[in-house]
Amino acid sequence: MPSMLSPYRLAKARDLYNIFNVFNSLSWQFLIGNIITIFAMRLHASSTYLGTLSALLYVAFFFLPLGKVLASRFSIVKIFSFAWSGRAICMITLFFAPLVATAGHRDLALGLTVLGVLLFHVIRGIGMIGNNPVLSLMASGPDRGSYMTQIQIINSAVGMFASFAIAILLGRDPPLYLYSVIVAVGIGCGIFSGILMGKIPEPSVDTGGKKIKFFDVFKQALSQANLRQFIVILFIVALVSGVSRAFIVVYSREVFMQSDGMVSLYTVFGGLGNLMIGMLIKFLVDRTGAKPIFILCVFMGLVSMVPIIFFPQSLDNLITIILFLTFLFFMLNFGFLGAEGIAQTYFLALVPSELMLDMGIVYFFVFGIAGTGGSFLAGLFLDIMTGLGVDIIIAFRALYLVLIALTGLVLFFQRKLTPLGALPFRGALEVIFSFRDLKAISLLDKLNKTSDSQEEEALLGALHDTPSRLATKGLLDRAKSPRLATRLESLRAMESLESLTEDAEKALIDDIIHNPFTTAYISARILGNHGVFAAIPLLRELAASHDYMLAGEAMIALAKLGDEVFRPRIEEIVLGTDNPRLKIMGVEALGIYQSPNSISVLLDILRVADPPPYLRDEVVLAMASILDTQNQFYPILVHYLENESLAPTLAADEVDAACEFYNATLGGGKKNWKKPGFVLIARQAKALPAAASAFMDRKGALLSQWILELPDKFCHSVVQMVLAEAVLDDELCSHRRLQLLIVHWTAYKLRIWTQKLKEKEQREVL
């Protein structure tokens, strides 16, 4: 739902909404949380009664239509506010229940408890019509999933605190009046939370009170395949979640005879599980999407129920029992409350904003039917089983076996959920178990929170060192920054990514069009490095740009993209420009092409009077790349530049090493002397030292002849002719770098020739 609030007003509204959630969560834990079940069990309530209590939690959802009718006449926030205060006031009956029980009227106390809980949820259901619109308003913006999970974290943390406080108060055998004290605190917190809600801005929403009839809402939802599939999954998840978490309290009391205080303490660890999954979802949801996390939460819920099937009742070790129950409460809440929370996030992304109110009714109705029916039937099932004489632990195992089977069915259905832009499940798991991706997400979170330009640049630099595709969206946002330094750092970080998204490619193409002389040249480089062939037509145009850095990077990018058609044009640009940097970048591009036809162009550059030293270096390195020997030649060039007087020595070393390799490989025996190929290589190996030495003295006739006598299969014809002529050119022979390259190349060819003949000889022997 689009926000009508400015960033400042949205931030203020969120602060108020966060405080509302603190008191709302306290009220819930003191009035409706596990304390109700503990109190009822203290009064020896049956499993059917406990199941009914749990089922009442979902009755609220059936009163959403009444809330919708009221929403067509009154403010949604006002309805929400009055309902939240009113539901707390209705729990006054629960306040008197412990006192009545103390007086010996147990059945009346149980009746007052049910009445209070029923009224609480009826009024709550009317007010819940405002839940989705208000939450959607508060969670508007790119951090929707993150903020929604933040609310879950607040509720979990406060719930843990409240559960721990209740556990301390109840202890092992608390007096019943303590329950009244706890309820009184809950009523006060509930009334205050309702007052806070009244100060929240009114969401802009079309209530649709007169446009869509109640049953038409369900028809509309079920007519859409993606919504229909989600509703089925939500129904089963709500059923399993409600039953498994509610009856684990009963399981602790009935099977392992745990005290009220211990059960309350276990709920603290249940809250910790809810808090942990909330923090995990908040960290990941905006990066991985809701679907894979939804699947993961359901899977964790399934795993958490399996131990119930196998854990023995007769175990005497109290520590083991405590650890087991702690694990159960933690994992069930971790899995199923996480599934409920992320299901709502998925739902808000799935449903268009104009249908939010109506589809919200469907969402909660399905939740209510599943929870009510599941809780009531589960309690009835346990009573029937025990009534038939079945041991209580066997009854619980049968119940949780059914829940496990239903959870497995959910996992099967979840595979076909609409992704809504989420990563595949396997991809999401890779993110969760990838230190690099998790670090990148952490850096992005810090980046979103910082307002310091220097810290911003430092974080972008760290993202460059921690490349992750998950960072793409955040980097694209920073690439639009008004600060040049920030844009440069964000593009530099994007350059380190292994692959680009479609949005990133479009953004980079847009950048090279609209941002010449600033960041366009970096974007051109990234497009070339990542093989974006769609950019070729634009890069061709920009190779003649007045922004020489952009023009140069465009030529290099075209070379990396293998645009052979444009290579002659690059040769023209290189020969025609007087810009040293553009000429160097064009030379680099020709080296990347590795076309033998470009060697003559590179030699023409050296023929110009006194070319700059770095241009000479780039030319010979580009030639070395075309000759496929750049890696071997580069160290030689470095040694030469350290001491230019070493040129003859370096050339002689190359030839001597090649001749020694020949002698060691082929020259030691006489059996090959009469073979044509071996006779020729022997003559060439013997002639190379003298030819190379003469060439270093600027006498290239011998070396020219040596090059021309190379077999065609070991040398491209164009290369052979161009180099044979080049060594005879007095102007070119004045360049020591070129001399070193040609001598090195001849020595390299002798090595290759030798190796090929050796391999041929070995094949003939075999």
Q: Give me the pLDDT at residue 211, please.
A: 52
Per-domain boundaries in the chain: 7-201+213-430, 646-765
Calculate mean pLDDT across residues 174-185. Answer: 87
Q: Quickly state the pLDDT bin for 652 (edges 50, 70, 90).
A: very high
Least confident among 225-229, 616-620, 706-710: 225-229
Mean pLDDT of the chain: 84
Q: For 26-40, 57-71, 540-554, which range has the lowest pLDDT when averaged over its residues?
A: 57-71
Q: What is the predicted pLDDT for the residue at 675? A: 64
CA–CA dist 482, 488 (Å, integer): 11
pLDDT of residue 353: 66
Average pLDDT value for residue range 417-439: 76
Spatial CB neighbours of 540, under 8 Å, sequence gap ≥ 6: 554, 558, 563, 566, 569
Whether CATH 1.20.1250.20 fits 7-201+213-430 = yes
Q: Which of 16-30, 110-124, 248-262, 549-563 has the lowest mean pLDDT?
A: 248-262
Residue 522 has a pLDDT of 93
Residue 124 belongs to what H/E stretch? helix 106-127
Mean pLDDT of 673-702: 85
Of 201-215, 266-280, 578-592, 629-643, which range is least confident?
Answer: 201-215
Spatial contact of 672 and 761, defined as CB atoms under 8 Å apart: yes
- State pLDDT tens for residues 333-374: 889 888 888 888 888 778 776 676 667 778 777 877 887 788
Per-residue pLDDT at 155? 78
Give the percent of the chain with pLDDT over 90.
Answer: 33
Mean pLDDT over 396-409 rounds to: 93
pLDDT of residue 671: 54
216 Cβ contact partners less than 8 Å away, ≥ 6 residues apart: none
Q: With cut-offs at 50, 70 and 90, classify the pLDDT of residue 402.
A: very high
Q: What is the CA radius of gyration of the chain?
A: 39
- The mean pLDDT of 465-492, rounded to a whole number, is 79
Per-residue pLDDT of 1-28, as tens digits, reads 444 677 778 888 888 988 998 998 888 8
% of the chain residues with pLDDT over 70: 92
DSSP-H helix ranges across 171-210: 177-197
pTM exceeds 0.75, yes or no: no
| DSSP line for 659-673 | HHHHHHHTTT-STTT
pLDDT at 58 over 60: yes
Reply yes or no on whether the pLDDT at 202 is more than 60. Answer: yes
555-576: average pLDDT: 94
| Confidence class for position 677, pLDDT limits 50, 70, 90 | low
Q: Is the pLDDT of residue 209 over 60?
A: no
Mean pLDDT of 69-95: 89
pLDDT bin (cut points 50, 70, 90) of residue 674 is low
Q: Above 70 in pLDDT, residue 215?
A: no
Residue holding tokens 């919708």? 68
How far lies 280's CA from each of 242, 283, 288, 462, 749, in Å?
22, 5, 11, 22, 60
CA 568 to CA 557: how far, in whole Å? 15
The per-residue pLDDT for 213 is 61
